[in-house]
Structure 1
Amino acid sequence: MENKEEPFEGGLIYTPNPPNKKYIFDNSEQLSGGEKAIASIALLLALNAAIDAPFILLDEVDARLDQDNADKLQKIVKLLSNQIQFILISHNPDVFAHSDSLVEVTIQHSKTTSEAFSLLL
């Protein structure tokens, strides 16, 4: 915490420690995009364990993940999906393959409206 005497007046200092890297101290610039994504997901899931939100929205969180970490994310989402609903926005077909349902939203540039298609898998 930034302000231990008034904890609701300050922010939270979160220092991830990725495997196979020395301690990073306070500089998140030393983290890759994928490491930042994993650290953010880990923090979000830890906070959700305390808050118990009705759903979690992840917007293209897999974009910077390598295939191995994207697979791990899919397994975690599948494992936790019986406890909480996940809404994932992604362009990755591998994410679609592990989904329970899909919603595609498209826009036609000649029109000013969007179209949505849904599919239960």
Structure 2
Amino acid sequence: MARPPGKKLQSITLLSGGEQTMTAVSLLFSIYQVSPSPFCLLDELDAPLDESNINRFIRVLKRFLDQSQFLIITHKSAPSAWLIRCTE
């Protein structure tokens, strides 16, 4: 069950791909707050996300860069933009 902003509580299978991804990312970072890992591998996490949600993800990711390393695999056309944003 999940409740994205502005929506009612519903099964995660009824959410869009982007909403499912952001819900999973929220859970992942919640776990990281309690029990951080030295590294994290994320494969094509950005595929279902629009630019707005990618920017939200990057803002949250930056909070964890001091305690963990992230390897993010993407097929988007501008992966260097991720690198620049994540290493600022």
TM category, shorter: 0.7 to 0.9
- Residue 79 of structure 1: how far off its partner (Å): 3.1
* TM-score (norm: length of structure 2): 0.82
What residue in structure 2 maps to residue 73 of structure 1? 57
Conserved 8 A contact 1:74-1:95: no
Q: Percent identity?
A: 35
Give the AA of the match of 2:42: L
Partner in structure 1 of residue 35 of structure 2: 51
Matched, 1:22 2:2: no
Q: Following TM superposition, where does structure 1 have runs of at least 4 consecutive aligned residues deviating by more than 4 angstroms?
A: none
State the TM-score, normalizing by the size of structure 1: 0.62
Q: For 1:57-108, what per-residue CA distance to the aligned partner results, in whole angstroms no more than 9, with x for missing partners?
A: 11101100111001111222233212211110101244421315xxxxxxxx
Q: Distance in 1 between matches of 2:23 and 2:78?
A: 21
Q: Distance in 2 between matches of 1:98 and 1:44?
A: 19
- Indicate if the aligned counterparts of 2:4 and 2:19 stay in contact, CA closer than 8 A: yes
Give the letter aligned to residue 2 of structure 2: P
Q: Name whichever structure is richer in helix by fraction.
A: 2
2:80 aligned partner: 96
Unaligned regions of 5+ residues in structure 1, if any?
A: 1-14, 101-121
Higher relative contact order (CA 8 A, sep 6+): 2
Size of the aligned set, in residue pairs, is: 84
Contact 2:46/2:54 (CA < 8 Å) preserved in 1? yes
Equivalent in 12, 16, 21 of residue 37 of structure 1: 21
The RMSD of aligned alpha carbons is: 1.6
Structure 2 unaligned regions, length at least 5: none
